[in-house]
Amino acid sequence: MFEHQRHKPPQELARPRELVVVCAPLRSNVNLSRIARAASCCGLQRILCTGHAKLDRRIARDGADTLQIETHRTLPPVLIELRQQGYRLVGLEQTTDSTNLHEYQFERKTALVIGNERTGLTPDLLKHLDDVVEIPVWGMPFSYNVATATTMTLYEYCRQFPKG
């Protein structure tokens, strides 16, 4: 039968994750902190933020310590640099020509770009992206919370690369 196992050892990565999360200025540090906890659990090492990014440690937990949190004034130069470093730039948004996340094959070295809760990914960011993925929605309010959508995307990436 099933017995609860607290503190089960985590999965081993064969190599470090090459997924980074890049956040446009978010309205809510709660959302950012939720993303940080999930990203840390998924074995990510870096989050790149803009604006007044500040983690709530009660929500981000160890993610606040284990992740390298980089804050930038503006994203376009960051995206250009990431591309030069070999990252594929993948936005999370409902756009023309976006790919259903269910059918998207990630590259290992990916920068996942997340938009603001209200404005989403703006044209000055979209124009830098290689791909945009969107998550199917079946019911009201017809849009996922930004941390919820990021969580689903982290899950899909890790499903494709369980060993890193």
Which residues contact its own copies (rule: CB under 8 A)?
Answer: 1-8, 10-13, 17, 34, 37-38, 40-44, 59, 61-63, 65-66, 91, 93-98, 102, 120-123, 126-127, 129, 132, 134-145, 147-148, 151-152, 155-156, 158-159, 162, 164
Q: How far is the CB of 73 from its own copies (least distance, A)?
A: 23
Closer to its own copies by Cβ: residue 41 or 69: 41
Closer to its own copies by Cβ: residue 78 or 125: 125
Q: How far is the CB of 31 from its own copies (least distance, A)?
A: 10
Say which residues have a Cβ less than 8 Å from residue 105's Cβ, sequence separation at least 6.
160
What is the Cα–Cα distance from 114 to 92, expressed in whole angstroms? 6
Q: How far is the CB of 30 from its own copies (least distance, A)?
A: 9
What is the DSSP secondary-structure string of 15-30?
S---EEEEEPPPS-HH
Closer to its own copies by Cβ: residue 78 or 158: 158
What is the Cα–Cα distance from 56 to 72, expressed in whole angstroms? 19
Q: Identify the three-state secondary structure at position 55.
A: coil
Closer to its own copies by Cβ: residue 71 or 122: 122
Inter-residue contact 125 to 91 (CB < 8 Å): yes
Query: Do strands 131-134 and 88-92 pair parallel, antiparallel, or not at all (unpaired)?
Result: parallel
Closer to its own copies by Cβ: residue 43 or 51: 43
Element spanning 126, H or E? helix 123-126
Q: How far is the CB of 96 from its own copies (least distance, A)?
A: 5
Q: How far is the CB of 126 from its own copies (least distance, A)?
A: 4
Q: Record the tokens describing residue 126, joined without a space.
A: 């979209």
